[in-house]
Chain A
């Protein structure tokens, strides 16, 4: 019988199982480093083509194709696809942009909508069979999205309020007793420059990392405990049931994290457009 190499454990000479002598191959951070399919060398820089990059490209193509196809028939009474695209757009415009920024947030809806649907569909890839890897669990992806958001709200703030006034109006909000400014100003500056992007990226990364790790653990346990004994049947069936329940919970968290990422982007852009009063 061939050795099934379960994730995370490369030191067991046989398939890890309850009776095979090796311990439970608990998944650690190793499972997030996938083997590359090929490596391109372009102009001295190495580009790794692996599952992560292909999934990212696939998600981008899916989102772009859906919205292009939904916006092509411009009927007054929309058909099914156009109606779906309209609902998606209106969700981002009404629930995220207009709630937070107000009416002049309409010009940011393409940016916010792209962020929301890219993050959501790429999170969904974590539970779709065949592709089971949420690409936001590689730190590079949330960081690159956050850099875009950071550049956006910094640029808008400095253009709209002036480069110095943008920082001073955040560091010295009116209506605060003068002695508090010593404590408040450095914290607000730190919040504006460091805390916002760091927490935004790490929140998305940590949620997807933890979710994938949990699902992997219970799936591995369901296989590991599969044996014709009491603890085998009980443990395996329970682990499988927990995997199913956790998958449902994970889908909720994926949508929620996409929504939170986009909502916070809108909050930061709104804070740059309208100075803190």
Chain B
């Protein structure tokens, strides 16, 4: 079977770009809802900030794993 199409070059960059879509949307949702929650109830700022930071770190982990994997498995 002959090769019809091929991607060469730095596939790791493409991988990171694809991996950053999901966490980008996710972090936007987290902080958007967090800001709304603070606007609704400003006295709960401490609790909301705590949970925002927790959610941010968990979501950011996926984007950073996408950044690191090409280095670990790549050439």
- A→B interface (CB under 8 Å): 28-29, 95, 99, 199, 202-203, 205-207, 209-210, 213, 256-257, 259-260, 263
Contacts and interface: CB of A to CB of B under 8 A. Distances in A.
A259 B71 contact: no
Interface string B38-75: 00000000000010011001101100110110011010
Q: Chain A CB within 10 Å — which of B58, B67, B71, B72 has the most?
A: B71
Contacts of B68: 202, 205-206, 209-210
21 contacts: A28-B71, A28-B74, A29-B71, A95-B50, A99-B50, A202-B61, A202-B68, A203-B57, A203-B65, A205-B68, A206-B61, A206-B64, A206-B65, A206-B67, A207-B64, A209-B64, A210-B67, A213-B71, A256-B53, A259-B53, A260-B53
A161 to B, nearest CB: 25
Contacts of B64: 203, 206-207, 209-210
Contact of A257 (B50, B57, B72): B57
A-B complex: 4 closest residue pairs judged by Cβ atoms:
A203-B61, A206-B64, A260-B57, A29-B71
B69 to A, nearest CB: 9
Contacts of A259: 53
Contacts of A263: 54
B54 A29 contact: no
Interface residue SS majority, chain A:
helix
Contacts of B74: 28
Interface of B: 50, 53-54, 57-58, 60-61, 64-65, 67-68, 71-72, 74
B66 to A, nearest CB: 9
B65 A202 contact: yes
A74 to B, nearest CB: 31
Contacts of A95: 50
A274 to B, nearest CB: 18
A104 B44 CA distance: 24
A206 B71 CA distance: 11
A259 B67 CA distance: 22
B4 to A, nearest CB: 31
Contact of B72 (A29, A203, A207): A29
Given A99-B50, A203-B58, A206-B68, 7 more contacts: A202-B61, A203-B60, A203-B61, A203-B64, A207-B64, A210-B67, A260-B54
A99 B49 CA distance: 13
Contacts of A257: 57
B55 to A, nearest CB: 10
A148 to B, nearest CB: 20
A213 B58 CA distance: 21
A101 to B, nearest CB: 14
A202 B64 CA distance: 9
A206 B57 CA distance: 12
A257 B56 CA distance: 11
Contacts of A29: 71-72
Nearest to B72: A29
Contacts of A202: 61, 65, 68
A143 to B, nearest CB: 14
A209 B69 CA distance: 11
Contacts of B50: 95, 99
